[in-house]
Amino acid sequence: MNLNNILILTKKDLTLFFKNRFFSMITILGLVAFIIIYFALPKLEEDKIKIGIYSDVSLTKIYYFLELHDTEVYDASSIEDLKEKVSKKVISFGIYFPSNVKEKKTLKLIVNAETENEMKEAYEYIAKELFHTEFGYQLNIESENEIIGVDLAGKQIPVRKRLIPILAFFLIIAETLGLSTLISDELENKTIYALLSTPVTVGDIFFSKGVMGLITTLIPSLLFILITVGFRNFPLIFLLLIFGSLFAISIGFLIGSIAKDMMSIIGYGFVIFILIIIPSFNVLAPGTLSSWVKIIPAYYLVDGLHKIINFNSPFLSLLPNILILIISQGILFLFGSLILKRRLI
């Protein structure tokens, strides 16, 4: 491979990419729109609190008080039911009033392991207020944690923070169509033969496409991350974004090698995009998807970004994600190359 040729071809591809108004609009508007979406969402986590109650004694004033304050209440059928609803995040927290609550002045506060400490304190304060409302005096609190998962415990994430990995992922994959178009055009317009009849090699052409793809996928997502997350965990995020970009490039390469024109690029792209955005929902609403989504390599990109951005996960816990991305990229590139080889003859 010749570095000079790669630079010349990359410059040419970038010129062609930005001469295409559709793709330059997607790049710029996508970045701007996602930043606006991020900042338009509330900074705090969901403010509506749903309280679960299970009591061995008769409660009268609490329900009236909560209704007055427009707070949703879940009446648990047992303490186990209460714990289950807390663990599944159906309710924000649970309060168990044992039969001796009045004598011991003690109740059980059940909170999820992922609940931030500040929120736990807030829930304890609410429980104390409710006890005071019902019985007229102060009480001791015994809180019990339901452990759900180990790694991600201890932090409630606002929606907009959950959206960061998803939007960064969308910015990465949005650029694949541009890359596919450049590859497909090179084949369909047969300009690739003009290039190959010069000192340029097939390696130079595809490496330059890769560089072009890396620039167009990495820069918008990197800018978005820097604006929304800043430099926190930057080296790890940067590393994962590079692998994410390479994943998008491999998809673009495959689509470009199959497609014959813009319509077929959109057709293939649409099907592939639907498939690869499914894992994003797992970040937005954890536990809503079946485990089969893990066969989609895109899951490991979104999941990896989610882990670093929202849980400060260390490199070792991201290693499986990175390895799976590398393997899937290799497979996609291999398929793309085989198809291209057939088309070039």
Partner 1 sequence: MEKVIEANELTYSYGKNLAVDHISFYVNKGEILGFLGPNGAGKTTTFKMLVGLLKPKEGTAKVLGLDISKEPKKIQRRIGVCFEYTNLYEELSAKENLILFANLFGIKNFNPYELIEKVGLKGKENDLVKTFSKGMKQRLMVARSLVNDPEILFLDEPTQGLDPVSSEEIRNIILEEKNKGKTIFLTTHDMYEADKLSDRVAFINYGKIVALDAPLNLKTKFGKRGLKLKLQKENGEIYEKNIVLDKDDTLENILSTFKQDKVITVHSEEATLEDIFIKITGRGLKE
> Under the rule (CB under 8 A), what is the footprint of partner 1?
4-5, 8-9, 12, 15-16, 19-20, 189-191, 193-201, 345
10/233 with CB nearer partner 1: 10
Minimum gap (Å) between residue 345 Cβ and partner 1:
7
130/200 with CB nearer partner 1: 200
Q: Smallest Cα–Cα separation from 262: which of 175, 173, 185?
A: 185
20/143 with CB nearer partner 1: 20
Minimum gap (Å) between residue 344 Cβ and partner 1:
8
Eight-state DSSP code of residue 106: E
Angstrom CA distances, 47 to 82, 100, 127, 156, stand at: 21, 32, 17, 12
Residues 6+ apart with CB under 8 A from 8: 208
Q: Smallest Cα–Cα separation from 131: which of 77, 61, 49, 73?
A: 61
15/288 with CB nearer partner 1: 15
- Measured distance CA(308)–CA(225) in Å, rounded: 12
Residues 6+ apart with CB under 8 A from 183: 209, 252, 253, 256, 257
Minimum gap (Å) between residue 17 Cβ and partner 1:
10
* CA atoms lying within 13 Å on the CB side of residue 248: 31
152/202 with CB nearer partner 1: 202
Minimum gap (Å) between residue 16 Cβ and partner 1:
6
Minimum gap (Å) between residue 213 Cβ and partner 1:
18
10/217 with CB nearer partner 1: 10
196/284 with CB nearer partner 1: 196
Q: Is 70 helix (H, G, I), strand (E, B) or coil?
A: coil
Minimum gap (Å) between residue 200 Cβ and partner 1:
6
Contact 86, 75 (CB under 8 A): no
Angstrom CA distances, 57 to 67, 255, 267, stand at: 19, 65, 63
Minimum gap (Å) between residue 24 Cβ and partner 1:
12
